[in-house]
Amino acid sequence: MSRPAADLTALYEEAIRLHADRRIDDAGKRADELRAALGPLRAAEPEDAARVLLLQARIDEDAGDLERARRTHRTLERILARAPASPQLAALQAAAASAHGNLLRAQGRYAEAEAVLVPAIEAARRRLGRGHEATYWLLNSLGMVCKYTGEFARAARLYREALKHAIADLGPDHPELASLHHNLGGLEHARGRHAQGEPHARRSVELREAALGPDHPTVAEDVGALAALVEGQGRLDEAEALYRRALGVFERAYGPEHYEVAVALHNLAGVRLGLGDAGAAEAMFRRCLALKERLLGSAHPDVAMTLHNLGVLCAGEGRVAEARRFYRRALAIFEAHLDAGHRKIQLCRENLAVLDASASAIAPPTRRERAARSTSAGATPPSTRA
């Protein structure tokens, strides 16, 4: 290495701290500096190079640079392939697979994510044991993929196994358990079992807030997940207050052009629509759509969710042609990424059928009908780990 090990360790630890504090730009600068300080990757110790690349890939993903994160993962795979076998290497390989699976899921490439994660879980169980932290975070990553593909029972088994091992490893009050409670709450939201999910979401906020304080962006993610479950139980005023709290934290931490801001806007728009404020809801949905298309591309499943809800809004306003265009765009994206029987595809088709049956005259739906036709899937963004 071209710099003393102590200097490299200090840089690495600072980059980790900045990333945990969600100071993503600063963390990225430190990670770039650290990678340069390593010198040529071929000459670096494989495990040192792998740790730096793994951190850099996570920072790139959180910065929204998914393409750079993908390239970093490819380099990381090559480094790990030439490293000598050891328990430390096995843990690094598991962590790298988990991060790669999370990236593929974020890109909407669910089948590819599963193809990375399933063999990684088998290898981690064999080499590290079922109770190793790298193993249970792999289970969490696969659980997230299963939630997005609609395999809810499988996701629940994976999350609960991960939580069992994490509690045995860390104790019941460790802040990292917040991620698993967050995801269990999000799964119940996706299943429409909002009351069952609320205790998990509240536990997530409690654990993370105790560790990070009330104004941390990761706490705001948990608050947004709780809001979605509260909204699902019809407590719209309470949900709106929680969404606005989360949105304020994200905008202060990240500025107005960030994915978490888009998620909060999507969900807040849904509440305003449920309260009958279609004008405010439409403005928020359209701002959210523009953000998601810039950040994720126009064919991402997350974009489709906002397109679908704009369709619901337009249908409720009697704007049939606009509603049909939004539904058809959303359906095409969902069909490209999800199995034919997925609930999101069914919902799009059902809402298109309502338009076709109504032809030129649509009576504005009631609040209850509008909520049933909309989808807030994605209102509880998954959490990887603290």
pLDDT for residue 365 is more than 80:
no
pLDDT for residue 164 is more than 60:
yes
**What's the pLDDT band for 24 if we cut at 50, 70, 90?**
confident
Q: What is the mean pLDDT of residues 270-275?
A: 94
Q: Got the DSSP string for 180-211?
A: HHHHHHHHHHHTT-HHHHHHHHHHHHHHHHHH
**What's the pLDDT band for 167 if we cut at 50, 70, 90?**
very high
**Contact, 85 vs 66, CB < 8 A?**
no
Q: What are phi and psi of 360, to 5 degrees?
A: -90, -5
Q: What is the mean pLDDT of residues 90-105?
A: 95
**Contact, 18 vs 30, CB < 8 A?**
yes
**What's the pLDDT band for 378 if we cut at 50, 70, 90?**
very low
| Number of other residues whose CB lies within 10 A of the CB of residue 70 | 17
Confidence at residue 359, expressed as pLDDT on a 0 to 100 scale: 58
**Spatial distance between the Cα atoms of 91 and 95, rounded to a whole number of angstroms:** 6
Least confident of 22-36, 166-180, 200-214: 22-36
pLDDT for residue 217 is more than 50:
yes
pLDDT above 90 covers a percentage of the chain that reads 73
Least confident of 13-22, 221-230, 313-322, 367-376: 367-376
pTM of the predicted model as reported, rounded to 2 decimal places: 0.81
Q: Which of 210, 149, 142 is nearest to 177 (CA)?
A: 210
Q: What are phi and psi of 130, to 5 degrees?
A: -65, -25
Q: What is the tens place of the pLDDT at every residue in 342-360?
A: 889 999 999 999 988 875 4
Q: What is the tens place of the pLDDT at every residue in 224-262?
A: 999 999 999 999 999 999 999 999 999 998 899 998 999
- Amino acid found at 261: V
- Where do the structural domains in the chain lie, given as residue ranges? 1-84
Confidence at residue 376, expressed as pLDDT on a 0 to 100 scale: 52
- C-alpha neighbours within 13 Å on the C-beta side of residue 380: 35
Q: Which residue spans within 213-343 are E strands per DSSP?
A: none
Token pair 């934290």 in the structure block, residue: 249
Q: What is the mean pLDDT of residues 6-15?
A: 85
pLDDT for residue 76 is more than 90:
yes
Q: What is the tens place of the pLDDT at every residue in 175-192?
A: 999 999 999 999 999 999
